[in-house]
Amino acid sequence: DSGVTQTPKHLITATGQRVTLRCSPRSGDLSVYWYQQSLDQGLQFLIQYYNGEERAKGNILERFSAQQFPDLHSELNLSSLELGDSALYFCASSPDPGQGSVQFFGPGTRLTVL
């Protein structure tokens, strides 16, 4: 158990819909990362937050957005969902945003778009 929690574990929805994925980082970790893992694209970095502020953006679509709240939990919002958005979404946390900081991954949310 990494100490990172993600809800829900599974989500099934239809095209065009909007969903919210939630992540609680390890106690004391200030940095949160979101990743998308799919069979064809592998593990893709989406976005990073540190203490409530956006720090880095990766391959995140405009239909996707995220935020980190004052209590440090984070939410990833996915809208106008397409079949290709079906994937595992991981959240990770680390104590700081430094380059050598180890990331601790949550168990993931499996999103299925029908």
Spatial CB neighbours of 7, under 8 Å, sequence gap ≥ 6? 21, 22, 109
Rank residues 68 and 94 by Cβ distance to other proteins and give the closer one: 94
Structure tokens given for 112: 């299925």
> How many residues are recorded in the chain?
114
The residue behind tokens 């929690």 is: 5
Mark residues 33-72: x for contact with other proteins by CB under 8 A, - for none. x--------xx-x--x-x----xx-x--------------
According to the binding rule CB under 8 A, does residue 105 interact with other proteins? yes
Whose CA is closest to 20, among 7, 31, 32, 30? Answer: 7
Tell the burial category of 9 from Cβ atoms under 10 Å away from its Cβ (0-12, 13-18, 19+): exposed
State the nearest-atom distance from the C-beta of 35 to other proteins, in Å: 8
Size of the site for other proteins (CB under 8 A): 27
According to the binding rule CB under 8 A, does residue 80 interact with other proteins? no
**Residues at the contact surface with other proteins, assessed by CB under 8 A:** 2, 4, 31, 33, 42-43, 45, 48, 50, 55-56, 58, 90, 92, 94, 97-108
